[in-house]
C-alpha cells in the first residue's frame, strides 16, 4: 500500500508541461520527487510536502520518483470551469476533468453522433516507447502528418508524466494527446478508447493516430497478466469504428528474457488471441537469421490478420533524427535497434495508408 513520507522542498530540478521535478529533504536525505501542479499546486523551495514513496522504495524502473501527494500548508485554489468526468475515480486524488464527449464540452455536438473514423490508419503498440519511433517512421514515409496519440490507462495515468509526449508536441510531431479510461491530463479527455479515437479524428483532425499505454507498463511474466493486452482490444475498437488498424509488433534481439526475444509473447497474445478484428500486422524486413525467426513467429497471426512486410531502409536515420530520446526497458536505439525499427516500420506503413482515408 502507500508508503507515506513528509519532507521539505530543497530545490526545483526541472520541469515540462504538467510536471515539476523537485528535490525533497526527507529525514536529512535528498529524495527526487515529481509533482503535478494541476493536482497539488506548484511546489516551491521551503514547502512542506507529503510524499508517496512506494515505487521508489520498491525500485520500480519507470521514473524512479517519489510522488508529491499534497502541499498541506499551501493548498491550491479550487479549479474553475466546466468538467464532470471523474478520473482516478474514488482514489484520494480523483480529478474532475472536462471530457471531449461530455455534455458541457464544446465538442459534444461533434462527438454525440460520431461513429466513423473514415479509414484513419491507427498504429497500435504495446509500449509507450514505441510512440516516437512510430511517428519517425510515418514522417519518413510521407513527411509531416497530423498525428494524435490516444493514451490508454495501462501505464501512467497522468499524461503529464511523459516527457516523450511533451517533447513530441513541442516539436510539432503531435497534434495532441487524448487520454482515455482512467488516464487524464491530455489535450483532450475521453471516457473510452472509442470516443478517444473519434476525438482524435474529428476534433484534432488527425490523419493518423497512435494508440499505446502511458509509460510504466505492468507485466507479471504470465501469459495474460500484462497491461499491454489492451493492444488487442484497441485493434477491435479501431476496426468497429471504420478505421485501419495497424499492429506494431514488439520485437527485440536484445531483451534478456526469452519470452520477449524475437516477437514478444505480448504481441502474439494481444494480436493472436485478443484482437478479433483483422489488422495489418507489420513485419519489418530484417536481415539474416533474426529476420527469419520473426517471420516464423508471426506466421500464425496470418490466420486472422494480413502480414505486411515493410522495408526498413532509411529508418535508422529517421530514428536518429527524432526530437526526443529513444529508450525501451532501459535500452537505447543502438542497444535494441530491432525494437525501434519494428515500430518505425509500422509508422511507415500507416503513413502509406493515410492518403486513402475518407474525410
Whether the pLDDT of residue 62 is over 90: the answer is no
- Stretch 195-206: mean pLDDT: 98
Query: Going by C-beta distance under 8 Å and a sequence separation of 6 or more, which residues neighbour residue 27?
Result: 5, 7
In terms of Cα–Cα distance, which of 277, 256, 264, 259 is closest to 125? 264
State the pLDDT at residue 228.
81
157 three-state secondary structure: coil
What pLDDT, in 10s, does the model give residues 290-307?
999 999 999 999 999 999
Instruction: Tell me the pLDDT band of 219, cut-offs 50, 70 and 90.
Output: confident
Domain 4-70 falls under CATH 2.40.50.140? yes
- pLDDT category, 359, cuts 50, 70, 90? low
- Please state, in angstroms and rounded to a whole number, the distance separating the CA atoms of residues 173 and 165: 9
Return the exposure string of 136-175: e unless at least 16 CB atoms fall within 10 Å of the residue's CB, then b: bbbbbbbeebbbbbbbbbbbbbbbbbbbbbbbbbeeebbb
DSSP string, 72-130: TTSPPPPP-S---EEESTTSTT-EEE-BTTSTTSTTHHHHHS----TT-EEEE-SSTTH
Give the global pTM. Answer: 0.95
CB count within 10 Å of CB 272 equals 18
Summarised one tens digit per residue, pLDDT across range 315-327 is: 999 999 999 999 9
Q: Are strands 66-70 and 29-35 parallel, antiparallel or unpaired?
A: parallel
Pair 175, 204: CB distance under 8 Å = yes
Residue 257 pLDDT exceeds 80: no
Amino acid at each position: 500500500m502507500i508508503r507515506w513520507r513528509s519532507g521539505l522542498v530543497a530545490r526545483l530540478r526541472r520541469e515540462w508541461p504538467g510536471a515539476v521535478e523537485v528535490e525533497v529533504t526527507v529525514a536529512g536525505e535528498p529524495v527526487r520527487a515529481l509533482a503535478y501542479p494541476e493536482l497539488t499546486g506548484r511546489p516551491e523551495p521551503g514547502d512542506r510536502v507529503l510524499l508517496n514513496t512506494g515505487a521508489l522504495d520498491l525500485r520500480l524502473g519507470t521514473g524512479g520518483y517519489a510522488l508529491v501527494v499534497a502541499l498541506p500548508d499551501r493548498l491550491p485554489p479550487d479549479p474553475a470551469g466546466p468538467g464532470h468526468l471523474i478520473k482516478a475515480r474514488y482514489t484520494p486524488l480523483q480529478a474532475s476533468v472536462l471530457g471531449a464527449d461530455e455534455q458541457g464540452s464544446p465538442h459534444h455536438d461533434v462527438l454525440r453522433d460520431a461513429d466513423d473514423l473514415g479509414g484513419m490508419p491507427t498504429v497500435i503498440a504495446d509500449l509507450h516507447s514505441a510512440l516516437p519511433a512510430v511517428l519517425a517512421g510515418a514522417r519518413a514515409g510521407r513527411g509531416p502528418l497530423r498525428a494524435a496519440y490516444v493514451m490508454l490507462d495501462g501505464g501512467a495515468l497522468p499524461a503529464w508524466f511523459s516527457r516523450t509526449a511533451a517533447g513530441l508536441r513541442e516539436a510539432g510531431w503531435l497534434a495532441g494527446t487524448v487520454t482515455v479510461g482512467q488516464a487524464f491530463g491530455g489535450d483532450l479527455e475521453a471516457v473510452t478508447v472509442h470516443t478517444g479515437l473519434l476525438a482524435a479524428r474529428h476534433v484534432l483532425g488527425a490523419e493518423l493516430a497512435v494508440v499505446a499505454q502511458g509509460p510504466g507498463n505492468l507485466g507479471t511474466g504470465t501469459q495474460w497478466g500484462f497491461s499491454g493486452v489492451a493492444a488487442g482490444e484497441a485493434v477491435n475498437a479501431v476496426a468497429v469504428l471504420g478505421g485501419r488498424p495497424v499492429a506494431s509488433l514488439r520485437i527485440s534481439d536484445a531483451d534478456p528474457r526469452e519470452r520477449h526475444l524475437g516477437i514478444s509473447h505480448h504481441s502474439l497474445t494481444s494480436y493472436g488471441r485478443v484482437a478479433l478484428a483483422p489488422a495489418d500486422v507489420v513485419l519489418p524486413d530484417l536481415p539474416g537469421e533474426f529476420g527469419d525467426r520473426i517471420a516464423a513467429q508471426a506466421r500464425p497471426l496470418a490466420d486472422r490478420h494480413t502480414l505486411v512486410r515493410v522495408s526498413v531502409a532509411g529508418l535508422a536515420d529517421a530514428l536518429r533524427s527524432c526530437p526526443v530520446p529513444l529508450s525501451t526497458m532501459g535500452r537505447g536505439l543502438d542497444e535494441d535497434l530491432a525494437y525501434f525499427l519494428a515500430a518505425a516500420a509500422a509508422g511507415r506503413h500507416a503513413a502509406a495508408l493515410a492518403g486513402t482515408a475518407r474525410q
